[in-house]
């Protein structure tokens, strides 16, 4: 077993780029034993090269493969020791509106963003339930609060994750397992770099990682940021449909 004496063990999915990558660097710098997964092995090797040898333990993985996810969790525990925290961060985005709406795109996002996270939850619960302890953090998005133009499929997957976590949290707490829901706004990542529209309150991935890590140390269920954008999206969540659609119609492109 290669666990650093006294260190805690963390698994991050979607760690090749963006928020996941910055979280891995942050936690490794704080002395955690960090297991990272992503589809692209080259991204994980690049991440490991930025840190001292042995700081990062790479486990390439396609999160849509249920059996592979379960096997990866078992391998991490066998090689590194019992997991303390799993940050399920894998996700992607394909612009989806009425003019570019395909079953293929929607299925791809559901499989990656939603089912991929479900696979991760199921795999870590298998070991956390046996120990009656553990910590799961699920990265969704403020885009899951209400349907926004251009994000029909992406927003639907994030709304599903929000609902899933809200439903599971009381059950898991009774079993001694902590669950956090993370809802970021716009964060500078390779995905948002492809956006060709204004992104309010855009944050750097390093700052987002710090917000998440500090939020996970507290007792609140939900971690949202940036605060002003989160407040705006929470307002949209309770706005009457008539007013909400007046606003979102203005977001449509001519």
**Residues carrying an active site annotation:** 154
> Sign (positive/negative) of CA torsion 48, 84, 59, 195?
negative
Question: How far does CA 12 lie from the centroid of its chain?
Answer: 9
Which candidate, 141, 145, 26, 122, places its Cα nearest to that of 74? Answer: 122
Which residues are within 8 A (CB) of 81 and not within 5 positions of it... i.e. 6 or more apart?
1, 3, 9, 33
> Sign (positive/negative) of CA torsion 211, 213, 214, 218?
positive
CB 192 within 8 A of CB 199: yes
Residues in the chain: 254
Distance from C-alpha of 33 to C-alpha of 27, rounded to nearest angstrom: 8
- For residue 142 the two structure tokens come to 């403020």
Question: How far does CA 84 lie from the centroid of its chain?
Answer: 17
3-class DSSP assignment, residue 76: helix
Distance from C-alpha of 185 to C-alpha of 233, rounded to nearest angstrom: 9
- Degrees to nearest 5, angle at CA 70 with 221 and 115: 60
């Amino acid at each position: 077993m290669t666990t650093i004496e006294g260190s805690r063990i963390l698994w991050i999915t979607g760690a090749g780029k963006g928020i996941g990558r910055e979280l891995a660097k942050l936690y490794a710098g704080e002395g955690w034993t960090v297991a990272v997964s992503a589809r692209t092995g080259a991204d994980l090797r690049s991440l490991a090269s930025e840190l001292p040898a042995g700081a990062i333990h790479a486990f390439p993985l396609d999160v849509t493969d249920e059996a592979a996810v379960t096997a990866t969790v078992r391998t991490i525990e066998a090689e590194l020791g019992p997991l303390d925290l799993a940050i399920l961060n894998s996700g992607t985005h394909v612009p989806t509106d009425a003019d570019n709406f395909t079953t293929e795109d929607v299925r791809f996002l559901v499989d990656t963003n939603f089912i991929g996270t479900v696979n991760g939850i199921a795999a870590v619960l298998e070991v956390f339930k046996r120990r009656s302890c553990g910590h799961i953090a699920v990265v969704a998005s403020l885009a899951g609060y209400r349907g926004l133009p251009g994000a029909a499929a992406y927003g639907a997957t994030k709304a599903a994750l929000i609902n899933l976590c809200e439903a599971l949290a009381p059950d898991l707490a009774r079993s001694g397992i902590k669950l956090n829901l993370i809802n970021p706004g716009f964060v500078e990542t390779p995905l948002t770099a492809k956006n060709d529209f204004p992104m309010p309150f855009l944050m750097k991935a390093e700052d987002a990682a710090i917000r998440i890590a500090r939020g996970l140390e507290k007792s609140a269920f939900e971690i949202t940021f940036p605060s002003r954008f989160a407040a705006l999206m929470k307002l949209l969540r309770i706005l009457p449909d008539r007013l909400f659609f007046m606003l979102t119609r203005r977001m449509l492109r001519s």
